[in-house]
Amino acid sequence: MEFELITASGGGTNARAGVITTDHGKIETPIFMPVGTAGTVKAVHQHELRDDVKAQIILGNTYHLYLRPGMDIIEQAGGLHKFNGWDKPILTDSGGFQVFSLSANRKLKEEGAYFRSHIDGSKHLFTPENVVDIQRSIGSDIMMALDECPSGKSDYNYAKKSLELTLRWLKRGWNHFNATSPKYGHSQAFFPIVQGCVYADLRRESAKFVSDMGAEGNAIGGLAVGEPAEKMYEMIEVVNDILPQNKPRYLMGVGTPANILEAIDRGVDMMDCVMPTRNGRNGMLFTRHGIMNMRNKKWADDFSPIQEDGPSYVDRAYSKAYLRHLFVSQEILALQIASIHNLAFYLWLVQEARKHIIAGDFKPWKEEMVVNVTRRL
């Protein structure tokens, strides 16, 4: 994997534009990555991701794919790209966040994380080494290290012990990555994850450790997990002051359109979140003018397009009244239209950010856009 930094804005912002090159194609940054947890972005066909959403990279999840369909099936298919028919880049989360969200059904040990499947209760162990092996079997272009993701409300002592465990696991995962090879003829990159909760000294320690590894890219984890947004932005600034300029920076699991713009402003290159699809399936639409609740009666006789100047075909093909009708009628098409719209908007947003970074006027554009995208319509 290669990363070319094209430009950094200056003018009171750390926003940057670049290009990541993988064996499955190029990714123009800053970029938002739709989440395809179980090998599929919910309610969205691959051709819609490619042609309407204009996704350049999607995510899969090690935890879910490991449990179902399992590595035997994925290996027989020739990797996740062939299994799900997506020929562009794929990033896989290590599964750590999913394991640690199962607080009642997991136990952390030095060797790894023991957990019970949410599907059938069977017992499993994730280690820093076997999550590398699993991601080798999946064949993702970018794989993540196993880490612990503490709550944003964790006290300092817990956060410190958690970070120490994460760094020990990181050494083991990095060593195993370098001792193994890809299975399907394309290269794979390994991203370590910066942790440290909301404590600046822990974040600095973690960022320094991660930077010194010299991996092809780096991730920032453990944010948007209960801490205030301003604390999240502060931690991004602390970490990005240390992470190398010539490597992509991936902020994991964030977030709202405003969060994304603020993260880009602070030097983040890659982001993902289930919000556009999950909230879309519940009737919330994000637009460049604000947020709409499509179950609201005010849209019942509004026959204007969802968004006339929108980024996706769905905005002009369907009216607000029709989409509201689909939601209140519990029609599956509502979920599909809303998911495609929200993903297309997120991808439009980061592409517009990139244009303004290159043009040198990102900061004033961002300030205006943050007001717009947080408005309730």
Q: Chain-centre distance of CA 219, in angstroms?
A: 10
Amino acid identity of residue 28, one-letter, is E
E strand residue ranges, the chain: 2-8, 16-22, 25-29, 31-33, 58-61, 90-93, 106-108, 113-116, 123-126, 142-144, 189-191, 193-194, 218-220, 249-251, 270-272, 284-287, 290-293
Q: Which of 52, 93, 265, 269 is an active site residue?
A: 93
- Which one, of 133, 93, 100, lies nearest residue 115 by Cα? 100
Query: Please, which residues bridge with residue 107 across strands?
Result: 114
**Strands 113-116 and 31-33, sheet pairing:** unpaired
Whether 93 is catalytic is: yes
Amino acid identity of residue 365, one-letter, is W
DSSP-derived secondary structure letter, 50: I
Q: Which of 52, 141, 147, 272 is an active site residue?
A: 272
Active site residues: 93, 272
